[in-house]
Amino acid sequence: MKKTCIWVAALLMACSACGEKGAVKKPDVLLSEQQMIDVLADSYLIEGELNHRRTLGQDVTRLQDAYYRQLFEHYNITDSLFKQNLKYYSYHPEVLETIMDSVCSRFDKAQ
């Protein structure tokens, strides 16, 4: 799991390095760092479950939609708001790195 967290963090950091700071408008509703940590951690759990089911040959399209609908309802956000926030934080790599470190730490502690 730690390798996966590092890989995802590196990918997000690489994507964010392509843009200029301030090039992305701050979302009308900016999720706090803790909220981003919580949503990202839960989304990684969802992706883990979906990937497991895919390896078993299951079609997960409807399940994926249901899981993410529940995730966004739980945090009282929309998928659009989440994407806006992820894009915003990706243009602030120092903050995103802190967020990703916290997500990875959460999973490391769970092992």
pTM comes to 0.79
Domain count, the chain: 1
Residue 26 lies in a domain: no
Domain assignment of residue 42, given as a range: 2-14+32-110
Question: Quick one: pLDDT at residue 89?
Answer: 96
Task: Report if residue 21 sits inside a domain.
Answer: no
Which residue type is seen at 22?
A: G
Residue 6 inside a domain? The answer is yes
Closest of 78, 74, 104, 73 to residue 10, by C-alpha: 104
Q: Residue 39: what residue type?
A: V
List phi, psi (to 5°) of 33: -60, -40
8 Å CB contact between 95 and 35: no
Closest C-alpha among 19, 11, 22, 28 to residue 97: 11
Write the pLDDT tens digit of every residue in 37-91. Answer: 999 999 999 999 999 999 999 999 999 999 999 999 999 999 999 999 999 999 9
